[in-house]
Copies of this chain bind each other. A is one copy, B any other.
Amino acid sequence: MSVTLHRFAGHAPSLDPMIGLVARDMDSVNDVIVDRMRSEIPLIPELAGHLIAGGGKRLRPMLTLASARLLGYGGDRHHLLAAAVEFIHTATLLHDDVVDGSDLRRGRRTANIIWGNPASVLVGDFLFSRSFELMVESGSLRALEILSNASAVIAEGEVNQLTAVRRVDLAEERYLDIIGAKTAALFAAACRVAAVVADRPADEAALDAYGRNLGVAFQLVDDAIDYTSDAGTMGKDAGDDFREGKMTLPVILAYARGDEADRTFWRDAVEGRRSGDADFAHAVDLVRRTRAVEDTFARARHYGQQAIDALAAFDDGAAKDAMVEAVEFAVARAY
């Protein structure tokens, strides 16, 4: 079957097929997550639970489970790894919110606001350590290699992003490096470890490519919907990135394509001197006029198509359909 990226005919693309595909596996993963958040120090499950129970989609562990299903793997050795992936992700979010000084995530107050930065840093460290304990328990050195490398790449990407903060002239290439590291690396690793567990080393690269391209597409759409009015679909409020002066692709494109007045506006915005509602309205106008949002979605579709193409060699079936539709969902969710 050759699949191309398209709007679904009968219904809007959805994550539901993937959720259904892995529902039973996910129950086991959730049990592991709840079990391993435990600690004699009550603050740990309390703080970690706030985020982990807080309405996340568990997309990354779902990708591990779906990828294993794609390979016909029927065991349960990947449940620990899927939980490890979610713990790495959660630890990263906790530290991200400290680094960005964020006060809202998925519409709820962030852990750093409720319990303070020190607790968020330390509970993040705890979850990160726990994730490695889970990987060790899974018994696969190769999976450990993939996920520990991804962790280092994520941290590198975060530092890279930190040093790019408030730089309005950030190159698109460097921006892609940053999201490739801080977002796509874990998507790639989450998919790739399924090939390790299923003992299908020859399929590692394809699953990595699927996850990596999906991750980039996912992040680009996330960046774009910050400037669209119907944001909120993924629990994010329109204008969050703008108000934090975050450099994302819509800003990079709008700045590059703008005239002198536009560039002055963006410089002021990124340097924190324009963050009011009227400023945001003007920003939305600029990204639309320069087609920056439209082209960010187009870039996302490009990566989405690559993700789908990475699955070409795998057998058709429910798993592949679900993984393709997850890409469609990722790139279409703002329409």
Contact = CB atoms under 8 A, between A and B. Distances in A.
Nearest to A98: B121
A149 to B, nearest CB: 6
A43 interface: yes
Contact of A121 (B99, B126, B136, B148): B99
A274 to B, nearest CB: 22
Contacts of A139: 141
Interface string A140-160: 010011001101101110111
A125 B122 contact: no
Interface in A113-130: 117-119, 121-123, 125-126, 128-130
Interface string A239-262: 000000000000000000000000
A92 B128 CA distance: 13
A132 interface: yes
B123 A152 contact: no
Contacts of A160: 41
Nearest to A120: B121
A121 B95 contact: yes
A152 B133 contact: yes
Given A117-B98, A121-B121, A141 B132 contact: no
A161 B232 CA distance: 38
Number of copies: 2
A129 B117 contact: no
Contacts of A234: none
A148 B133 contact: yes
A148 B136 contact: yes
B159 A43 contact: yes
Given A122-B159, A162-B119, A130 B152 contact: yes
Contacts of A163: 41, 43
A136 to B, nearest CB: 5
A133 B151 CA distance: 9
A145 B129 CA distance: 11
A140 B182 CA distance: 28
A4 interface: no
A331 interface: no
A94 to B, nearest CB: 10
A-B CB proximity, top 10 nearest: A126-B155, A129-B152, A129-B151, A132-B148, A99-B118, A125-B155, A122-B158, A133-B148, A122-B159, A136-B145
Interface of A: 39-41, 43-44, 92, 95, 98-100, 117-119, 121-123, 125-126, 128-130, 132-133, 135-136, 139, 141, 144-145, 148-149, 151-152, 154-156, 158-160, 162-163
Given A95-B125, A122-B162, A133-B152, 13 more contacts: A41-B159, A41-B163, A43-B159, A43-B163, A44-B156, A92-B125, A121-B121, A122-B155, A125-B155, A128-B155, A129-B154, A130-B152, A133-B149
12 contacts: A40-B156, A43-B163, A44-B159, A98-B121, A123-B155, A123-B159, A125-B128, A126-B159, A128-B155, A129-B151, A132-B132, A132-B151
